[in-house]
A = this chain, B = another copy of it.
């Protein structure tokens, strides 16, 4: 995915347009929480001879790592504008920077932009979601816990229109990369958690990179149920499996990045032994 100067220019203009005219402006994304922090933005110096990290092309300004970590929300509603190729390359590149057991890098990624393919896959996703929805969650509109109810309703809306996202990235586990960590027939993982974990670390890196580029994303978790059918569409071999399908796009208001709600460290952290407060 080489980028010509013209493409880079076009990509940059697009990003600058988003930055200037996006939902609430760049500063607006943290508006619900503490006063917005000054973003650690910087304009990339493109003078001849100046070298950058791979993927720098798309970066007009760079957010601080904690700004990104603390404002990464799942985005489930997307604007239809395509994500520029250089942004996609930057996101995938971030994925490849993840750690993996013995640096095996057991991941692979399939980028799906084609509307017809997205529609086919969306149809499968919708069918699988509708299959599990009631048996697993019952009547989601009747769930008492408000945040759980809203989350499942949002998932339901996502399933109805996931291909509104202009970009899918399939994050896959490629068992042929696992060396001694898989049986020679590539069927049995010796350390399943670490193998899948490497792909999930790559996914987290991609979510963070996407958020830094103002691209929203949601990871989907029904991929095991979809795998047989999706495999026929995307043509991946037997030793490869989908770990998660990511749907990506520019957040459509009211969806936006911002502070997230999590159980505090005091609840999930323990000091020296289980149960001792931190």
Contact = CB atoms under 8 A, between A and B. Distances in A.
A66 B59 contact: yes
A47 interface: no
Interface in A241-269: 243-244, 260-266, 268-269
Copy number of this protein in the oligomer?
A: 2
Interface in A34-84: 34-35, 37-38, 40-42, 50-56, 59, 62-70, 72, 74
Given A192-B192, A272-B117, A275-B235, A69 B200 contact: no
Nearest to A201: B204
A28 interface: no
Interface stretch (A7-15, A19-27, A98-106, A122-130): A98-106
Given A65-B64, A268-B109, A234 B70 contact: no
A90 B278 CA distance: 13
B105 A212 contact: no
B66 A53 contact: yes
A94 B66 contact: yes
Interface of A: 1, 34-35, 37-38, 40-42, 50-56, 59, 62-70, 72, 74, 89-90, 92-94, 96-99, 101-103, 105, 107-114, 117, 136-137, 147-148, 151-152, 155, 174, 180, 191-194, 196-201, 203-205, 207-209, 212, 219, 221, 224, 234-237, 240, 243-244, 260-266, 268-275, 278
9 contacts: A38-B42, A96-B264, A111-B269, A111-B270, A117-B272, A197-B244, A204-B204, A237-B274, A240-B274
